[in-house]
Amino acid sequence: MPAAIGQELVALLPRLRRFALVLCRSYALADDLVQGACERALANAGSWTPGTRFDAWMFRILRNHWIDHLRRMKVEGMTEDVETHTQLIGDPGEAPILSKLALTEVQRAIDTLPHEQREVLVLVCGEDLTYREAADILNVPVGTVMSRLARARKRLVELTEAA
């Protein structure tokens, strides 16, 4: 019997959507991604190990779903070079979404970071995941998580201090 993950899934929606927005920067696409990831999660509910972090498991599914989406869009080199292609994928009317919002300078600074730094930033600093958990979600070594994260945060401090 698969674990009863339905309630947790619904409760996690705001955070899933936030992560999806960081990944794809389009509201419409983010909602599609979240919905698709939820479908995947329910279909594979048995593969979640109760007692482990459900949110980390979902973030991983969501991100894999995003990568598959990019693959379907026939975008090459998406793992290291997602940023340069993201604008091609998002709804042109909405990307970059962040400019539509009344952003704080921090948010604006985060938005200038490379994609791979943004996603590790949201996972560790936004979602309070450990380096190890983030590394598992992103499928990279812990050392990579740390170097991306340190660069992102140094840049953030520079940008916000300069402003």
Partner 1 sequence: MSQLHLSDEILMAFADGELDEPVAAAVAKAMAEDPGLARRVVDFQQSRRLTRSAFSSTLAPDVPPALYAAVSAQVKAFEAGNAADDTVTEFKLRPPPAARSGRTYPSFMKMALAASVAALAVAAGYFAGQREASGSNGLIAQLESPSVRHALSTAASGQDVELPTGRLRVISSYRLANGSLCREFKLQGAAGAADAIACRRGEWNVDFAAAKPAGSADYIPSDGADPVSAYLQSVNAGDPLMGAAEAQALAEAAR
Contact call for residue 163 and partner 1 (CB under 8 A): no
For partner 1, which stretch binds (CB under 8 A), given 28-36, 55-63, 74-82, 84-92?
28-36
- Identify residues 132-161 at the interface with partner 1 (CB under 8 A): 143, 146-147, 149-154, 156-157, 160
Tell me, rounded to whole angstroms, the distance of Cα 115 from its chain centroid: 9
For partner 1, which stretch binds (CB under 8 A), given 49-57, 62-70, 83-91, 102-110?
102-110
CA gap 82, 92 in Å, rounded:
16
Handedness of CA 128, 133, 138, 142 (dihedral sign): positive
# of chain residues touching partner 1 (CB under 8 A): 51
CA gap 124, 50 in Å, rounded:
22
Which residue's CB is nearer to partner 1, number 6 or number 77? Answer: 6
Q: Which of 23, 29, 34, 137 binds partner 1 (CB under 8 A)?
A: 34
For partner 1, which stretch binds (CB under 8 A), given 1-9, 52-60, 72-80, 81-89?
1-9
Beta-carbon neighbour count of residue 149 at 10 Å? Answer: 18
Q: What is the DSSP string of 42-111?
A: HHTGGGS-BTB-HHHHHHHHHHHHHHHHHHHTT-SSHHHHHHHHHHHHS-TTTSSGGGGS---HHHHHHH
CA gap 1, 104 in Å, rounded:
46
CA gap 141, 135 in Å, rounded:
6
CB of 52 to partner 1, least distance (A): 19
Q: Which of 15, 53, 83, 114 binds partner 1 (CB under 8 A)?
A: 15
Query: Binding residues for partner 1, per CB under 8 A?
Result: 1-2, 4, 6-7, 9-10, 13-15, 17-18, 21-22, 31, 34-35, 38-39, 42-45, 98, 101-104, 106-107, 110, 121-122, 124-127, 130-131, 143, 146-147, 149-154, 156-157, 160
